């Protein structure tokens, strides 16, 4: 493994919170370095072994060779111009793919330049340390890392805790805490230990670390075609095969009617009628879709996962951190009995002085805001009682007072043990707070219950609108939470989700995913813990958090380097944008071919059948001008559509019917109209230049 240094965090530019940080640098679509390399690669891709992977462009390449031979045997300006523009058609298709690949290769080269070899301190069976090269570590080896050391390979902490600088991977400068025995035990090779000492068990073989996979991903070295892409490629190949005999039969037909059609014109006709536009851009669309994910710090283990994200119909979203801000905040004091708000606030503040959780800090702040309570002199005789999972309470013992705050049932039981009685209004207040989607904490001073603190989950601003957009495109959202059903129902209603799963356990998550899939739906979810791994593996799109365990990252088919659960919504939108872009350009390509048919066919037989002049709706100058104009336009339209293929069609949160209608109107009708205009313009230019 290698040492990785921090990349330029400003690459994303201001105002781009979701841009690439650490992993990649955002590059301009027309970056000069990428353009130069793509131009070179487009020539290299003329290798027939490369071209045969794209049947449509392979046919164009063969046609170019045929016209080249014909141009040498029977030279003329027309035959040479057709040959040159057919060759440019292949080069432009190669250029589109090379542009998409070039962006990834540039990012991979940046990562490679930041790596240097490092050593590891491997623990032997007898506990002694030995220095070995990081590249010699294998799965199961145990290494020691201390402050200043680079973690040599991916692994899990089996002993200790440490502050780790992960900026080289995530781009975030703030260090993270990694520790053994929890859901934050995974460490990534190339990150640096800032403090303390940890013992790490290696979980990756040489060359298969997380960083290695990142490099392979962004450069597209191991990219495989997705099922939809393969299906579309087969369709395009079938259309090409159909048009070959159609064009070939034109020669004997022409002979039957006493006319001749040259081989060059037949090849030009074939190239213009087969779906060259989408055939040239298909690969670039898929590569660009993966690149858009990488730009948002999401690594997909395969193109299949990106494609599946576009077909997702059910989103499982954790409440905490995704729908809500993640920290419950004290929002109100509800006194009971003869006690007032000041009495409750004073006791709640005392019980929370040693509580360093966000909830505890918010109680102290609320007491200061509502009742002006500030610093307290507790004196020497006091004992803080920490929260435990067993007691589910915390508090303070001071002088002759024992103050407790915690879960309603736990505090009520404790009050009973103290010989106290419960106010009649306590249960209605607890139930009302829970129904409102908040968490009730009961406060007691010895045998007396003082009241209830309301801790409210704050729903993220704008999240309800995002869910409404998802609903508009046919995606069902389900909130997953460990809260009780009353609290879950209230938050679900406020957030605008379609359904919720309360008191969720790993088994219940798995059952929900299987139930959705049995109904024919594709499911996406996020997770970070080992207990999430089965559900992540079962989901069609499983996005694991980078801060999560190795088991979770191995089970998911995507990893979010920012560990932002909300990113799942963006992943789905990128997947849909990929599918929409592919569909839009396929529609344009097929409509485009229909228009070229009207340009060439009448021109071929115009001298034999003057009646066909009525179909020469563009008024093209001559048969040779018509053929050459169509060939030139066919090549130039590929170049014109490269930016759209790489950037993607703009995604809008509308239903499938609206998307289909928009594609048909813009790319279908546009695909019919644009070629008529484009071919006519080229014809006028050729006529003015006498270039045929």
Q: What does DSSP assign to residue 332? A: E
- How would DSSP label each residue in 501-566? E-S--HHHHHHHHHHHHHTT--EEEEE-SGGGHHHHHHSSEEEEETTS-HHHHHHSSEEETT--TT
The alpha carbon of residue 605 and the mean position of all alpha carbons in its chain are separated, in whole angstroms, by 52
Distance CA 156, CA 168 (A): 18
Evaluate whether 565 touches 583 at the Cβ level (below 8 Å). Answer: no
Distance CA 179, CA 187 (A): 9
Distance CA 208, CA 216 (A): 10
405 is known to lie in a ligand binding site: yes
391 is known to lie in a ligand binding site: yes
291 is known to lie in a ligand binding site: no
16 is known to lie in a ligand binding site: no
683 is known to lie in a ligand binding site: no
Distance CA 234, CA 238 (A): 6
Supply 281's token pair: 């851009």
Query: How many Cα neighbours within 13 Å face the side chain of 6?
Result: 13
647 is known to lie in a ligand binding site: no
Measured in degrees and rounded to the nearest 5, phi and psi for residue 557 equal -105, 10
318 is catalytic: yes
Calculate the CA dihedral of residues 529, 534, 537, 540 and round it to 10 degrees: -100
Distance CA 634, CA 640 (A): 10
119 three-state secondary structure: strand
Pairing of strands 401-407, 438-445: antiparallel
Q: What does DSSP assign to residue 664? A: I
Distance CA 11, CA 27 (A): 8
225 is known to lie in a ligand binding site: no
Residue 102 makes CB contacts below 8 A (sequence gap 6+) with 34, 37, 38, 41
Measured in degrees and rounded to the nearest 5, phi and psi for residue 483 equal -65, 165
Evaluate whether 450 touches 347 at the Cβ level (below 8 Å). Answer: yes
528 is known to lie in a ligand binding site: yes
Evaluate whether 394 touches 400 at the Cβ level (below 8 Å). Answer: no
What sign results for the dihedral spanned by CA atoms 500, 506, 508, 511? positive
359 is known to lie in a ligand binding site: yes
Calculate the CA dihedral of residues 145, 149, 153, 159 and round it to 10 degrees: 20
589 is known to lie in a ligand binding site: no
Name the catalytic one among 318, 540, 560, 562: 318
Distance CA 435, CA 485 (A): 9
Q: What does DSSP assign to residue 665? A: I
Distance CA 160, CA 157 (A): 7
393 is known to lie in a ligand binding site: yes
387 is known to lie in a ligand binding site: yes
Supply 539's token pair: 């989901």
Distance CA 21, CA 532 (A): 26
392 is known to lie in a ligand binding site: yes
Active site residues: 318
Residue ranges for the binding site for ATP? 355, 359, 387-394, 405
Residue ranges for the binding site? 355, 359, 387-394, 405, 528, 532
Residue ranges for the binding site for Mg(2+)? 528, 532
């Amino acid at each position: 493994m290698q040492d990785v240094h921090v990349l330029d965090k400003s690459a994303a530019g201001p105002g781009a919170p979701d841009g690439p940080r650490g992993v990649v640098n955002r590059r301009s679509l027309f970056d000069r370095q990428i353009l130069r390399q793509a131009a070179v690669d487009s020539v290299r891709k003329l290798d027939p072994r490369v071209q045969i992977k794209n049947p449509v462009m392979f046919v164009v390449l063969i046609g170019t060779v045929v016209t080249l031979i014909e141009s040498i045997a029977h030279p003329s300006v027309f035959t040479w111009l057709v040959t040159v523009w057919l060759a440019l058609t292949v080069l432009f298709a190669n250029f589109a793919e090379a542009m998409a690949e070039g962006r990834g290769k540039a990012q991979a080269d940046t990562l490679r330049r930041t790596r240097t070899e490092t050593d590891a301190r491997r623990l032997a069976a007898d506990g002694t340390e030995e220095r070995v090269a990081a590249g010699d570590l294998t799965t199961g080896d145990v290494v020691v890392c201390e402050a200043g050391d680079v973690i040599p390979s991916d692994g899990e902490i089996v002993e200790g805790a440490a502050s780790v600088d992960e900026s080289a991977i995530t781009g975030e400068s703030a260090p993270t805490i990694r520790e053994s025995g929890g859901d934050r035990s995974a460490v990534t090779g190339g990150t640096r230990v800032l403090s303390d000492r940890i013992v790490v068990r290696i979980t990756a073989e040489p060359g298969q670390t997380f960083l290695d996979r990142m490099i392979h991903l962004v450069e597209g070295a191991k990219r495989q075609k997705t099922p939809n892409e393969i299906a579309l490629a087969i369709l395009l190949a079938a259309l090409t095969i159909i048009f070959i005999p159609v064009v070939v039969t034109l020669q004997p037909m022409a002979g039957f009617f006493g006319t001749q059609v040259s081989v060059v014109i037949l090849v030009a006709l074939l190239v213009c009628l087969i779906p060259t536009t989408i055939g040239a851009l298909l690969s670039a669309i898929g590569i660009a879709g993966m690149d858009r994910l990488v730009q948002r710090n999401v690594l997909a283990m395969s193109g299949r996962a990106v494609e599946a994200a576009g077909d997702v119909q059910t989103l499982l979203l954790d409440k905490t951190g995704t729908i809500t801000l993640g920290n419950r905040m004290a929002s109100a004091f509800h006194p009971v009995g003869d006690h007032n708000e000041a009495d409750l606030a004073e006791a709640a503040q005392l019980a929370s002085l040693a509580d360093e959780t966000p909830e505890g800090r918010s109680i102290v702040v609320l007491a200061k805001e509502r009742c002006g309570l500030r610093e307290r002199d507790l004196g020497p005789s006091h004992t803080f009682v920490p929260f435990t999972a067993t007691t589910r309470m915390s508090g303070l013992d001071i002088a002759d007072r024992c103050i407790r705050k915690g879960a309603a049932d736990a505090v009520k039981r404790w009050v009973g043990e103290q010989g106290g009685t419960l106010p009649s209004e306590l249960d209605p207040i607890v139930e009302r707070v829970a129904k409102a989607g908040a968490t009730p904490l009961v406060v007691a001073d010895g045998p007396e219950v003082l009241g209830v603190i309301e801790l409210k989950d704050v729903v993220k601003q704008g999240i309800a609108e995002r869910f409404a957009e998802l609903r508009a495109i046919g995606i069902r959202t389900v909130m997953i939470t460990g809260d009780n059903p009353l609290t879950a129902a209230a938050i679900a209603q406020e957030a605008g989700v379609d359904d919720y799963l309360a008191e969720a356990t790993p088994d219940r998550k798995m059952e929900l995913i299987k139930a959705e899939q049995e109904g024919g739906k594709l499911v996406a979810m996020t997770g970070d813990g080992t207990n999430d791994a089965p559900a992540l593996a079962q989901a069609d799109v499983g996005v694991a958090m980078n801060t999560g365990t190795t088991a979770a990252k191995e089970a998911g088919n995507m990893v979010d380097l920012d560990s932002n659960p909300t990113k799942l919504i963006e992943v789905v939108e990128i997947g849909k944008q990929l599918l929409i872009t592919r569909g839009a350009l396929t529609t344009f390509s097929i409509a485009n071919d229909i228009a070229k048919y009207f340009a060439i066919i009448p021109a071929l037989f115009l001298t034999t059948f003057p009646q066909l002049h009525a179909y020469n709706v563009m008024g093209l100058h001559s048969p040779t001008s018509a053929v050459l104009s169509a060939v030139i336009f066919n090549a130039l339209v590929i170049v014109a559509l490269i930016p759209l293929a790489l950037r993607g069609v703009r995604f809008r949160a509308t239903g499938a019917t609206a998307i289909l209608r928009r594609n048909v109107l813009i790319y279908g009708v546009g695909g019919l109209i644009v070629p008529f205009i484009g071919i006519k313009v080229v014809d006028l230019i050729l006529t003015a230049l006498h270039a045929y």
